Structure 1
Amino acid sequence: MRIAVTGSIATDHLMVFPGRFAEQLIKERLERISLSFLADGLEVRRGGVAANISFGLGLLGLHPALVGAAGLDFAEYDAWLRAHGVDTSAVRVSDSLHTARFVCTTDQDQNQIATFYAGAMAEASRIDLAQAVEKPELVLVGADDPEAMLRHTATAHRLGIPVAADPSQQLARLDRDQARRLVDGARWLFTNEYEEALLVERTGWSKADLLGRVGTWVTTLGENGVSLAAQGTPVLRVPAVPTDRIADPTGAGDAFRSGFLAGTAWGWPQEQAARLGCALATTVLESVGTQEYKLTSSDLIARIDGAYGTDAARAAEPRLASVS
């Protein structure tokens, strides 16, 4: 299956605060916050939701097409992605702006405070999906310039290409009409638990209304795994793959999407695809950065075996045997 992944391409600046954000907040002064956190760690990593998802798909052998806008500093990042199985020919490279920046600080409770600078992402709406990628069989519309997200969604629907809607961080910027246009008719809808509630508020549709307008609503639940909901069927819950070696939560949700979409592309049942997604998410949790992890067939199969049993591992093994 040819998958086009649209969305942000960014550089992540990841810092660690050796305390708790909550201890610095004064309840009676939340309307006037002026805080500075002294971080004792800094990592500069490649990121952006579309690039992260594409990277995971590339490691799994799917050769996805990355669709987004990057800056005049993109050359090294471009080479990295291509070396890991990502088709970057549809990336628009700005001749005046820098690649987007994501600056994130994580405290000892794994809470995060982040700021995102769009940079070249502002040019993403100039990309014509129909011209940029030879007709894909699935388009994931990830967080991006809102006009680009709307344009890619409309183009995919017009061409009859299934859409995986993943508005994530951009939900807070969308008005009601935009939010509705992005999710209505999606084959898959991805959110985390907070975004699930925010999407209901933004669209003005109830959960039941939304389920009537999408195929499967996939909600990531952190350490509690993931839920898959579809109209007229019981909610399916898939537990997370456990770990006691969490290094950094950034990018775990993107890795889940990589695994889930790969399983979907291989024709796996959704539960089996979600298990692979959870295995990738835990792999990323154990490393700092969103694209610093490595995948091996033996590790993935062992994770699935340990979390879901021997039968689940055997079912996944033929496809995962080629991962290296």
Structure 2
Amino acid sequence: TFVRTIDDALTAQAYITTDLDDNQITAFHPGAMDYSHENSVPADAGVTIGMVSPDGRQGMIDHADQFADAGIPFIFDPGQGLPMFEGAELKRFIDQATWVAVNDYEGQMLQERTGWSAKEISQHVEALIVTRGGEGSVIFANGEEIVISPVEPAEILDPTGCGDAYRAGLMFGISRQMSWEDTGRLASLIGSIKIAHRGTQNHALSPETVGAAFEAAYGYAINL
């Protein structure tokens, strides 16, 4: 197992208050997350893809180094951890990563801190993925801007966790070597499924239901 128990620290905790307009206030205690650097990325365990997401500062740095040293492709997904890093550090993350994923606010901050435009960032990786909430997402890849339209959800109950749901679709599509159009659309669809459920992980997915929903949303089928 890659799970480590820190006996004298609490599990990381986030308390998110959401109003009727989906504005959010988050209270966060990192707890055991601050010890993430004590876990190492295994170079010999068959890991084929990774993600560096918000974590302890040193853990994010170390894990990016370890993925790069092991030749394991990974997504740099700085999220709420982005403000911890200066421009030079963020440039190093980008150069180590295979893909970068941010929301529109994080993407703007990433550009400001690095001095690189979205197009310039995309030239350092295989793709830059920028999510835009209800406006869909944009994937900068191969010199193109691929616009991914949002999927109309059955209902809007809870936006918490939609970004993570999108990233699940992103990693699935990448691992299956899907086109960027199909990958982005699948990610958008899974985000729309999540938002119709309260809680971050209370939605259920299966190849059959996701496949049917994808065909209904986009008018063609994909192999899941």
Shorter-chain TM-score range: over 0.9
8 A contact 2:65–2:96 mirrored in 1: no
Instruction: Say whether 1:143 aligns with 2:82.
Output: no
| Corresponding residue to 1:289 among 188, 196, 199 | 199
List per-residue Cα deviations over 1:178-232 (Å, max 9, x = no partner).
222222232111000111101111223232331221110011111121111025x
Of structures 1 and 2, the larger Rg is shown by 1
- Kindly report which structure 2 residues correspond to 1:90-239, keeping only aligned pairs within 5 A, or say none: 90-130=2-42, 134-231=45-142, 233-239=143-149
Amino acid at match of 1:91: V
| Structure 2 counterpart of 1:304 | 214
| Corresponding residue to 2:163 among 227, 235, 253 | 253
Amino acid at match of 1:214: V
Q: Distance in 1 between the 2:66 and 2:48 partners?
A: 13
8 A contact 2:118–2:128 mirrored in 1: no
Structure 2 gaps of 5+ residues are none
Aligned length: 224
Per chain length, whose mean CA-contact separation is higher, i.e. which structure has more relative contact order (CA < 8 Å, sep 6+)?
A: 1
After TM superposition, which residue ranges in structure 1, 4 or more long, deviate above 3 angstroms?
Answer: none
Q: Distance in 1 between the 2:208 and 2:49 partners?
A: 28
Structure 1 gaps of 5+ residues are 1-88, 320-324
Amino acid at match of 1:162: P
List per-residue Cα deviations over 1:219-254 (Å, max 9, x = no partner).
1111121111025x2200111111251110011111
8 A contact 2:55–2:81 mirrored in 1: yes
Q: Distance in 2 between the 1:197 and 1:205 partners?
A: 10
- Kindly report which structure 2 residues correspond to 1:308-323, keeping only aligned pairs within 5 A, or say none: 308-309=218-219, 311=220, 313=221, 315-316=222-223, 319=224
| Corresponding residue to 1:270 among 159, 168, 180 | 180
Q: Distance in 2 between the 1:213 and 1:223 partners?
A: 28
8 A contact 1:171–1:202 mirrored in 2: no
Cα offset for 1:271?
A: 1.2
List per-residue Cα deviations over 1:136-169 (Å, max 9, x = no partner).
1111111101110110111111111112110011
Between 263-272 and 202-211, report the one with greater CA deviation. 202-211
Q: Cα RMSD between the aligned structures? A: 1.6
Cα offset for 1:275?
A: 1.5
